[in-house]
Amino acid sequence: MNEEIITLDHGGGGQRTAQLIEELLLPAYGNPALNALGDGAVLDLEGPLAFSTDSFVVSPLFFPGGDIGKLAVCGTVNDLAMCGSVPKYLSLSMVLEEGLPLADLRKIVTSVAETAKRAGVQIVTGDTKVVERGKGDGVYLNTAGIGVLRWPGLTPDAIRPGDAVILSGTMGDHGVTVMLARSGLLEGSTLRSDCQPLHRLAQAALDCGGVRVLRDPTRGGVATTLNEFTENRPFSICLEEDALPVSPSVQAACDLLGLDPLYCANEGKLLAVVAPEKAEAVLAALKAAPGGENAAVIGHVSERHPGRVLLRTGLGGNRILTRLSGTQLPRIC
Amino acid sequence: MCLAIPMRLMEIDGNDAVAEVDGVRRKIRVDFIKEPKVGDYVIAHAGFAIERLQEQQALDNLEAIREVADAL
Amino acid sequence: MLSEASFARLPEGKKLLRGIREMELPGPVCLMEVCGTHTMAIAKAGLRQLLPEGVELRSGPGCPVCVTPAGVMDGVLALSETPGLILTTYGDLMRVPGSTPGDDLQRRRATGADVRWVYSPMDALELAQAEPDKQVVFLGVGFETTAPGTALAVLEAQRRGIKNFSLLCLLKRTEPALRALIARPDFRVNGFLCPGHVAAITGAEAFRFLPEEYGLPAVVSGFETGDLLAAVYALLAQIRDGAPRLENEYTRVVSPQGNPAALALMEQVLEPVDSVWRGLGEIPDSGLGLRKEFRAFDAADRFSFSPGQRVENTGCCCGAIICGQLNPQDCPLFGTACQPEHPVGPCMVSSEGACAAAYKYQGVEL
């Protein structure tokens, strides 16, 4: 059998590189700015702008609910959306490992194209390099993106005691799904990564007004992201254990492996801190938008214990939630 | 020590079984369970069923706790 | 099947808590849980801060990670460097330092050792089958709950003739450790919350020696909030009444005599050996080792495993803290040289270990 694979030639800048661009990349997500194939894209934009970048190194490349291509587009789109901007343009750099089946690359590129379309962004510049076999994990992707700022002033400094903390859906779906897919420790037929572009959910929330800050709780999970809000600031955030949305399968996997969903990664959820008088409207707007059905008010901002994130347990006790230290590992005790 | 949770036996092949909880499955060993049957609930720890869980015992356990609480 | 949530979200929980808070006790009371999973469950419920003044709940030597001495970890770290060897372990052990702070299995892996975490010893056995050219060593830590499964993996290796699998047996027994703890001159615990999943194997009766020989209240407890409340209430009631006895709160899982099949398998493969505990030192018959017939699967023999010098890290007080003798804040390294990001002792490694918990709650009156 002679399966088509990526070779060092594809990254050499010559014939094979051109072929890859013209036969695979342009047909998938070409647009006038990219099709010009200049050294960079020339864009006509009016500021202020938001600008963000992220690299993607997920293993396995394909997992229930997504793949590295979808992740790479969502990651940067979501960062731009959380800044209060409308995501417009992305760059996409690929580091491919020699021997990668071309069919896999094709699937990833298709996924990039579909996700970009869904998120309303164009991929206007990019780069491809190939590394020797054994020196990469199949594919590494980097995306950078530009968005036009529409809702300025989102910052944790705007948070005030009494504000509501809203999460747009269940916790930990991505982190747990990928961990199971990678380790084979458990099999979770009902688990899916939540990987999705958040621009619509962000817009739904921001159009209501009263949003102090938005953030997508990726690595480190909800608990770690909330600590970024409270650290060295004159307020705390207190979550209600009984209000935290977690899918039964994620909870079961966490119970088995001794993990905490509060510290598991999400790739399609946003956290919004909202002025109290707007909390109900933002919650309703999120619930009405696709992908926000399980949104919930999970806690409130308080003046007590400044700098901390606390969890009020069902029993009425308190637990301090610190940042994730190290990585979460399955445990038996 | 000793994280263990209730799981339901879905398939049994000798001492190998597939156990499930809320859609999450794991291969476990049932050597320590007498005559395990599909549909039985067990307490699983580190890939081993360490004890069988029976509905009536669970109900009795709950009732015992409630009795103490209600006497307060 | 009745869901565990019925015990987790017990409507009567608040009543039990009120009963605990209003209990008239003869004096200050110190209870001890001797199971890492209880420690986690208690922290998760926020139970510790809800207890009334004068009732203290301490974490005893119940976390297999916390009681593995630094010298043994040094030996394990050295073992991980053996060419052609895959070291398999539960995730718990990945971040436990040896006698050099910062040196742990995670770091060894980053610098080239083949260290992999597994969920079950059976996973390690299957890995050995899949990689016949490698030596696969399983780090067998744990107490009686974990011991039968660990023994079974060895028995299976023998049955299937998997010669490249071996066990570094670091299993511990609960009873000798409790006896050693009670025998210490500084022992000041008034009652034990007994480990439910150990008791699932050994039977609740295995803890009868506590009230009968030492006059200490003992309640075998489950792990849901409702279980913990019922067990703490029962312990305090025994103390109030001055009537120490053995109670089993976790009857849905724990029988008086335990699991005979699991006990028989343990007996067939393992035997009591002397063992060193962090903080408690060497305790006769407190560990489990492979019987002679299974020595061929003993990684200690196969790789001439030798624990390092039997001392704890200079200045680290984890030992005294596990025994309930010192508070984490009394340790000179606490919060300075030893923090969750760079733990020196194992009590700082586990996220709800006594030191990690104390670090998190510093200066917070909840």
Question: Residue A134: which domain range?
Answer: 8-149
Same domain, C259 and C301: yes
Q: Which of B22, B25, B28 to mutate to test the interface with A (most CBs of A within 10 A)?
A: B22
Q: Report the alpha-carbon distance of residue A210 to residue A154 in Å, rounded.
A: 10
Instruction: For residues C252 and C350, state if they share a domain.
Output: no
> Which residues of chain A lie closer than 8 angstroms to C119, CB-CB?
183, 185-186, 256-257, 330
Tell me what ipTM this predicted complex has.
Answer: 0.96
Per CATH, the architecture of B5-70 is what? Roll (2.30)
Residue-level length of chain B:
72
For residues C230 and C221, what is the distance between their CA atoms, to the nearest angstrom? 8
Looking at the structure, do residues C326 and C228 belong to the same domain, yes or no? no
A24 and A142 belong to one structural domain: yes
- Interface residue B72 vs chain A (CB under 8 A): no
Look at residue B1 and tell me whether its pLDDT is greater than 50. no
Query: Residues A137, A173: one domain?
Result: no
Q: What are phi and psi of C21, to 5 degrees?
A: -70, -25
CA C233 to chain centre: 23
pLDDT at A133: 95
Q: Do C134 and C162 share a domain, yes or no?
A: yes
Contacts of C92 in chain A (CB under 8 A): 329, 331-333
Band of the pLDDT at C360, cuts 50, 70, 90? Answer: confident
Confidence band for C365, pLDDT divided at 50, 70 and 90:
low
**Is C1 close to B59, i.e. CB distance below 8 A?**
no
Q: How many CB pairs below 8 Å do chains A and B form together? A: 49
Residues A104 and A169 in one domain: no
Cis peptide before A48 (omega within 30 of 0): yes
Q: Is the peptide bond before A60 cis (omega within 30 degrees of 0)?
A: yes
Strands A85-97 and A122-131, by their bridges, are parallel
Q: How many domains does chain A have?
A: 2
In angstroms, the CA A218 to CA A225 distance is 8
Q: C265 falls in which pLDDT band (50, 70, 90)?
A: very high
Q: Are residues C355 and C237 in the same domain?
A: no
Which range among A37-41, A112-116, C252-256 shows the weakest confidence by mean pLDDT? A37-41
Q: Which of A115, A134, A149 is the last residue of a domain?
A: A149
Identify whether A94 is part of a domain: yes
Poorest-confidence range of A29-38, C20-29, C218-227? A29-38
B16: closest CA of chain C, how far (Å): 11
Give the chains touching C; criterion: ≥3 Cβ pairs < 8 Å. Answer: A, B
Tens digits of per-residue pLDDT, C295-318? 999 999 999 998 877 565 567 888
pLDDT at res. C312: 59
Tokens, residue A332? 């038996």
Q: Is residue A224 part of a domain?
A: yes
pLDDT confidence band for C61 (50 / 70 / 90): confident
A84 with A227, same domain: the answer is no
Chain B from 6 to 65: CB within 8 A of any A CB: 21-26, 44-46
For chain C, how many structural domains are there in total?
Answer: 2
Amino acid at A261: P
Find the range with the poorest average confidence among A72-86, A313-327, C8-22.
A313-327
Would you state the pLDDT for residue C240?
97
Same domain, A241 and A185: yes
Whether residues C327 and C207 fall in one domain: no
- Judged against a pLDDT cut of 60, whether residue C203 lies above it is answered with yes
Answer whether C320's CB lies under 8 Å from C279's CB: yes
pLDDT at residue A284 is higher than 50: yes
Domain boundary among A149, A165, A191: A149
Cβ pairs bridging A and C (under 8 Å): 90
Q: Are residues C69 and C141 in the same domain?
A: yes
Check which CATH number belongs to the domain holding C194 and give it.
3.40.50.11740
Report residue A92 as tokens: 């996409």
Residue B1 to residue C145, Cβ atoms within 8 A: yes
As a whole number, mean pLDDT of residues A264-276 equals 98
Residues of C in contact with A329 (CB under 8 A): 91-92, 94-95, 117
Same domain, C94 and C132: yes
Span A206-233, pLDDT tens digits? 999 999 999 999 999 999 999 999 999 9
Range of the domain at C345: 318-360
Average pLDDT of the residues of chain C? 91
* Banded pLDDT at C352 (limits 50, 70, 90): low
State the smallest CA–CA distance between residue B23 and chain C in angstroms.
15
Domain-located, residue A216: yes
The residue of chain A with its CA nearest to that of B46 is A332
pLDDT digits 0-9 by tens, C134-162: 999 999 999 999 999 999 999 999 999 99
Give domain status of residue A325, yes or no.
Answer: no
Domain CATH number, residue A294:
3.90.650.10
Q: Is B68 on the interface with A (CB under 8 A)?
A: no
Query: A176 and A110, same structural domain?
Result: no
One-letter amino acid of C208? R
**Within this chain, do residues C278 and C227 fall inside the same structural domain, yes or no?**
yes
* pLDDT tens readout for residues C157-199: 999 999 999 999 999 999 999 999 999 888 889 999 999 999 9
